[in-house]
Structure 1
Amino acid sequence: MTQGADAQGIEAPERGATTIADRVVAKIAARAAREALGRVPEGGSVPHATVTVHHDHARVRISLELDYPSDIGAQCGAVRRHVAQRVEALAGMEVPEVAVDVERLHSVHTRRGAQGRLR
């Protein structure tokens, strides 16, 4: 039996392949970004991801909203690391790039209360 062949002598490329759709990898990435942040800012929306998959490599772009003031750089770094780790673990893909777009900052000083007043 040659290396890469199974018990019947069929080579690995002839047995088939598993394909994971881009949208599935995007859902994994978006969920991982939310896990990394811990919570969504009050009045904010959950992170969204777009993914481009080529063979076993996934390039990820995450769009998210953050509280302000906060350590934006540290939060983005945590998101990058966690997304790359989770996509690799769950989808078996290398992630050479995770781009993070901060779409909006939510400040506690500009949120309005129930009566429309600044808090």
Structure 2
Amino acid sequence: MIFYKIGFNVIKVQFEGSIIELLSSRDSIYEDLARNLECETLDFQDYSEEIVMIVDESGYFKTSFPIFQIKTQFGDIVELAGSIIFAKNIETEDSTDIGGISEKEIFNLRDNLNIKIIGITRGI
């Protein structure tokens, strides 16, 4: 599965975007995403009906994480701390699962994402 990851290099003062590929099963995808974000727990924020943004749930409590302001496809303004992984919402009978996104969706995000950095976390 492929995902799109956005971060911000606080030393170089520039956005960084990358495509990541995880060879995950349905049972291990959440652990693999957490490992990629170097965190223990994940937080999810819908970007659109099909796309979800995944971040470190404790991002605001860590030091030197970028704070992003993003306008979702619903018109909402959300603020997220740390790197963001974009994935697909996959509706199942019982819940919503996470899946990879297509290259077309990644290009669409790169071209149309309304994102800016508004600060840096100080940690606790």
- Fold similarity call, TM over 0.5: no
Structure showing greater radius of gyration is 1
**TM-score category (smaller protein):** under 0.3
- Larger helix percent: 1
Output the TM-score relative to the length of structure 1: 0.26
TM-score normalised by length of structure 2? 0.25
Larger relative CO (CA 8 A, sep 6+): 1 or 2? 2
